[in-house]
Amino acid sequence: MNATQASAPLGGSAPNAAGSVGVAYLLHLADNAVVLGQRNAEWCGHGPILEEDIALANVSLDHIGQARLLYQLAAARMGGGASEDSLAYFRDETAFRNYTLLELPHHGPLVGYAASDRDYAVTIVRNFFYGALMVLVWDALTRSADTDLAAIAAKSLKEARYHLHHAADWVVRLGDGTDESHARAQAAVDHLFRYTEEFWLPSPAETEAVASGIGVEVASLRAAWDALVDETLAEATLSRPAVRGYVPEGKLGRHSEHLGYLLGEMQGLARAHPGATW
Amino acid sequence: MYTQAMDIPDAATKPAGVSRTPDAQDAAFEARIDADGRIEPQDWMPEAYRKTLVRQISQHAHSEIVGMLPEGNWISRAPSLKRKAILIAKVQDEGGHGLYLYSAAETLGTSRDQMLDALHSGKAKYSSIFNYPTLSWADVGVIGWLVDGAAIMNQIPLCRCSYGPYARAMVRVCKEESFHQRQGYEALLVMMKGSDAQKAMVQDAVNRWWWKCLAMFGPPDADSPHSAQGLRWGIKRIGNDELRQKFVDATVPQAEVLGVTLPDPDLKWNEARQHYDYGQIDWAEFWATVEGDGPCNRERLATRVKAHRDGEWVRDAALAHARKQQQRKNKEAA
């Protein structure tokens, strides 16, 4: 479950940590964190058992904390009055660069305005797929040429390890639990797996960040991610579905039908009082 | 978050009489209470003391868990990331308080499942304050300032409660509640320095919560069926009326600093009493809400029941997996 432990600094040339290089990359990382933090907080008060209610709130809190640090860094680099809240609350859906996986509701495939009960299996499997990626990403980013980002990565890596541990434990419990939990966990894997294809898709923000030694080439983490995921799925007696067709493009700003609702709820109050301090 | 005169009458439990047939165990118990000592789980205790504590501690635990809902209502809409993080942490703390308190009650021989069943069937009560809706973002701050403030008034004396596990749980709960109260007040201070709309939001929330908070201390001592026995047993330390007065006296100056009006035309300083006088609490409305007919009772309870039912398959999976693992271990050992 440990991330790959390479010690060499990230490749690339001409790091420019103090300039605007890498802002788009910071926003991609921050958007991931805020959107998943928002989603996981939806369980607060509704968890399947009190301990999980607390755990999910904790995971959510970590993600909101990561988002704040990343937005603050991006805002400082952007200048012009940008702030963590202007970036989280006053950008539109198409400006968000999060993985589509993270904006999906806690249930199986349904249209944007459908209502359904939350399914803990979807929540857990999503956290597992993303957690397995982020232990690798944050580990690599501790060696970023951008020392501010490296510091955030060091803090976030500790959190991501806990998130992965928590999610993987539950994937195994659900997969290797009852017939019902196995069926739900498998359905969640089948539903969500294709959204992980987006992880490996190149994006201009990542390409630029990699070139300047700030970011990590995510495709290079794929083998390690596969190993982490396959190990846990095997223990959970779950199978990995074949993936074909559509590859989501949330990190390019083309999202599912679900992000608009998430942001509408999250941003509504702040936007009703532009300029207000809270 | 909070519990009030955590002793809401329960038809199934009659107030126990003080007089008992004296025997050695009883005498030892009474002597320890008289000496202001602590009763621990392994100690003998009268059945009525045990029952009263289970009722009180489980009501308190249920209040924490149900209390997550009115504030949870604003997590997704918190208007800044800082406030969102503070609110998630606060609601999470409340879940944590629920856990300590269920654990403290379990030391008295009642399981968490039994207590949850009592909550879900409507037999067990929780603090009635959570049966009111949170209608604006300012409610989050006002709940921190006033509801948690009232809770602290009630709970500080419980750190000296005669039952050890409860008293120790309350020390930690009170520290966190004090923090929540300061955070709530600070959030309101910021809003009161903001736009007219923000100020109006705060005043409206104060108007809606003030009287409900005064009622949180429970009925006047004269009408409070459990108060006398609770005081005798060191489960309750200070009467409802005295706590309510302390709360009013502490809160009026805070309202002045904040710049809000407390919605009570009779609220004024009484030089002779050296206390603030205040108006009549609407006890009919309070009791209607306690009895289940408040604005949100049904929603709160149904939401808890739904979360528990929807989560059953998850809990079953965890148990089934643990059993499978145990069986595998046993096989390996054989």
| Whether the predicted pLDDT of B180 surpasses 60 | yes
- The DSSP bridge partners found for residue B163 are B39
Q: How far apart are CA A221 and CA A214, in angstroms?
A: 16
- What structural domains does chain A harbor? 23-239+249-272 (1.20.1260.10)
Among candidate residues B208, B219, B192, the one with its CA nearest the CA of residue B294: B208
Instruction: With residue A206 as reference, give the H or E element that holds it.
Output: helix A204-211
> Across the interface, which of B69, B88, B195 has its CB nearest the CB of A64?
B88
> Across the interface, which of B75, B98, B321 has its CB nearest the CB of A177?
B321
- The DSSP bridge partners found for residue B276 are B269
Strand, coil or helix: A249 = strand
The whole-number pLDDT of residue B229 equals 79
> Which residue shows structure tokens 């009013």?
B248
CA B331 vs. chain centroid, Å, equals 47
Interface check A60 vs B, CB under 8 A = yes
Among candidate residues A153, A208, A159, the one with its CA nearest the CA of residue A59: A159
Interface check A183 vs B, CB under 8 A = no
Q: Exposed, middle or buried by CB within 10 Å (0-12, 13-18, 19+), for A105?
A: buried
To the nearest whole Å, the CA of B329 is away from the closest chain A CA by 15
Largest CA distance in chain B: 81
Q: In the predicted model, what is the mean pLDDT of residues A32-53?
A: 97
* Chains A, B: CB pairs < 8 Å: 142
> What is the tens place of the pLDDT at every residue in A156-169?
999 999 999 999 99
Contact between A118 and A107 under an 8 Å Cβ cutoff? The reply is yes
Residue of B nearest to A266 (CA): B77
Q: How far apart are CA B49 and CA B62, in angstroms?
A: 20
> What is the tens place of the pLDDT at every residue in B120-157?
999 999 999 999 999 999 999 999 999 999 999 989 98
Among candidate residues B57, B74, B226, the one with its CA nearest the CA of residue B126: B57
> What is the tens place of the pLDDT at every residue in B21-78?
558 888 889 899 888 889 999 999 999 999 999 999 999 999 999 999 999 999 999 9
> Torsions phi, psi of B7, nearest 5?
-135, 50
The whole-number pLDDT of residue A227 equals 98
For the question of an ipTM over 0.85, the answer is yes
pTM over 0.90: yes
Set of chain A residues whose Cβ sits within 8 Å of the Cβ of B76: 38, 41-42, 265-266
Among candidate residues B160, B64, B158, B80, the one with its CA nearest the CA of residue B115: B64
Set of chain A residues whose Cβ sits within 8 Å of the Cβ of B312: 48
Strand, coil or helix: B214 = helix
- The DSSP bridge partners found for residue A254 are A249
Interface check B111 vs A, CB under 8 A = no
Strand, coil or helix: B269 = strand
Q: Do B303 and A46 touch (CB under 8 A)?
A: yes
> What is the tens place of the pLDDT at every residue in A4-25?
444 556 755 444 444 567 999 9
- The DSSP bridge partners found for residue B277 are B268
A205-238: b (≥16 Cβ within 10 Å) or e: bbebbbbbbbbbbbeebeebbeebbeebbeebeb
CB atoms within 10 A of CB B231: 14
CB atoms within 10 A of CB B237: 17
